[in-house]
A = this chain, B = another copy of it.
Amino acid sequence: MKKILLSEDQLPDRWYNILPDLPEPLGPFLHPATLEPMGPADLAPLFPMAIIMQEVSADRWIDIPDPVRDIYRMWRPTPLYRADRLEKALDTPARIFFKYEGVSPAGSHKPNTAVPQAYYNAAEGIRRLATETGAGQWGSALAFAGALFDVEVFVYMVRISYDQKPYRRALMETWGAQVAASPTDRTNFGRSVLQRDPTSPGSLGIAISEAVEEAATREDTHYSLGSVVNHVLLHQTVIGLEAVKQMEIAEAYPDVVIGCVGGGSNYAGLAYPFVAERLSGRHPRTRFVAAEPAACPTLTRGVYAYDFGDTAGMGPVVPMHTLGHNFVPDPIHAGGLRYHGDAPSLCTLVRLGIVEPRAYMQNECFAEAVRFARTEGFLPGPEPAHALRAVAEEAQAAKEAGEARTILVNLSGHGHFDMSAYDAYFAGRLEDVALPQERIDSALAELPPVPALTS
């Protein structure tokens, strides 16, 4: 157990924007109604101008505002650990390092973007944000950030989570947010869903549609989201920029960089500064492994196409790996990995063979989470448990090759609010069900009428 800390004055003062370094440009977002490229004005009802500019910026470095850095300092720089006890348990010559984002007040990497989003909205006079949340991690991060910048937060929480996870709701309320079970009767789209199915359990896609509708129709309210889009990934690069310095202190450089992927933000946050090193040719051989759940295998079994980000088709149409915006994954416990698409920039890196995706069943992931807790002490969330599964594979590969490879992984959050999942795991109640291809095919039949992309 070796901890590598940075001092506060080593907190990065800029985020890294990968867009200008990508080998090929991202396709533009399309307007959901016209399917024509969107301009900044189209996004103005949803986002503050500072964020819209970041979304399409061609600048490699973007300054982190001082008030955001002041809040980051509550828990940043986060520690990087050498996991020598895990190495021993895995009986591997590999050296394993993990970056631990669970030290934030909300318990995950999500505040890295929630804080600047609340800040930029407040700076432009917006005092109310609407958002969605599935398992509750993003909603609680934005509730936390809203409390600090005096911005009201309204959270559409997927009904099944609202009913099953009252503690996540209570956490958001403690930070002052209002939380409603989605679908609600507050929005046109919510009402239309309830009319068809009064007992709808909701879905992330529905909740996004409700939050977008509220922001689009209320002058005083903007929308905020926690993954997928460029500005979110940008904000998360504070993780990787710190990790670069910490690996230097450790006198090591990763042979492989690993993380779990839902929308892609925690993985991009850690990986992109190292991807930049590969793209520039300074470290051309680093490998990048993205771990996703077999129940929601966007990168391994999705298609690369333009698709809606939300169920109602009210938000931008985005080029990405997708299982179809109507795909509803099985109720696995890694709630943060149950999104039907992925960040466009990450999809580009997958298509180019720079990032290698792998899909895992949840029991094998929980087995690694338990091994981690018993060796390294910290209790992983179900999402980074997927990344730990990939770590175990890479550690085994290093052993077979007889090489002391260096592995770097993002432990993106703790599992304190996910003990029911551990409980189910120990009781043998966690299901590993194969995902039939028909379910993917039927969801993919409903893609928007945009010409197919080359994949």
Contacts of A167 in B (CB 8 A): 419-420, 423
CA distance A120 to B370 in the complex (A): 25
Q: Which residue of B lies closest to A370 (CB)?
A: B174
B174–A379 CB distance below 8 A = yes
Among B1, B170, B416, B426, point to the contact of A107 (Cβ < 8 A): B416
A175–B374 CB distance below 8 A = yes
Q: Mark A161-176, 1 if CB is under 8 A from B, else 0.
A: 0000011111101111
The answer to whether A417 has its CB under 8 Å from any CB of chain B is yes
Q: How far is the CB of A149 from chain B (nearest CB, A)?
A: 11
Q: Which of A3-11, A300-308, A390-398 is found at the contact surface with chain B?
A: A3-11
Contacts of A416 in B (CB 8 A): 107, 414, 416-417
Q: How far is the CB of A330 from chain B (nearest CB, A)?
A: 22
Interface of chain A, main secondary structure = helix
B71–A419 CB distance below 8 A = no
CA distance A422 to B172 in the complex (A): 11
Contacts of A370 in B (CB 8 A): 174
Q: Mark A99-140, 1 if CB is under 8 A from B, else 0.
A: 000010101000000000000000000000000000000000
Contacts of A169 in B (CB 8 A): 423
Q: How far is the CB of A130 from chain B (nearest CB, A)?
A: 20
Q: Which residue of B lies closest to A171 (CB)?
A: B419
B173–A426 CB distance below 8 A = yes
A377–B73 CB distance below 8 A = no
Assembly stoichiometry (copies)? 2
Among B1, B73, B423, point to the contact of A71 (Cβ < 8 A): B1
Contacts of A279 in B (CB 8 A): none
Most buried by B among A173, A414, A426: A173
The answer to whether A38 has its CB under 8 Å from any CB of chain B is no
B71–A170 CB distance below 8 A = no
CA distance A387 to B318 in the complex (A): 50
Contacts of A168 in B (CB 8 A): 419
Contacts of A438 in B (CB 8 A): none
A374–B176 CB distance below 8 A = yes
Among B74, B144, B379, point to the contact of A3 (Cβ < 8 A): B74
CA distance A8 to B79 in the complex (A): 12
B175–A373 CB distance below 8 A = yes
In A1-31, the 8 Å CB interface with B consists of 1-3, 5, 7-8
Contacts of A144 in B (CB 8 A): 377
The answer to whether A147 has its CB under 8 Å from any CB of chain B is yes
The answer to whether A253 has its CB under 8 Å from any CB of chain B is no
Task: Tell me the count of chain A residues lying within 8 A, CB to CB, of chain B.
Answer: 45
The answer to whether A66 has its CB under 8 Å from any CB of chain B is no
In A277-313, the 8 Å CB interface with B consists of none
CA distance A403 to B379 in the complex (A): 44
A377–B170 CB distance below 8 A = no
Q: Which residue of B lies closest to A105 (CB)?
A: B377
The answer to whether A251 has its CB under 8 Å from any CB of chain B is no
The answer to whether A248 has its CB under 8 Å from any CB of chain B is no
Contacts of A81 in B (CB 8 A): 74
Q: List 27 A-B contacts (CB under 8 A).
A: A1-B70, A1-B71, A1-B74, A3-B8, A3-B73, A5-B5, A74-B377, A74-B378, A85-B148, A105-B377, A105-B378, A105-B379, A166-B423, A167-B419, A167-B420, A167-B423, A168-B419, A169-B423, A170-B420, A170-B423, A170-B426, A171-B422, A174-B370, A174-B426, A175-B373, A176-B374, A416-B416
A interface, CB within 8 angstroms of B: 1-3, 5, 7-8, 70-71, 73-74, 81, 85, 103, 105, 107, 144, 147-148, 166-171, 173-176, 369-370, 373-379, 414, 416-417, 419-420, 422-423, 426
Known: A166-B419, A170-B420. 9 other contacts (CB 8 A): A1-B70, A74-B376, A147-B375, A148-B377, A167-B420, A173-B422, A174-B426, A416-B416, A417-B419
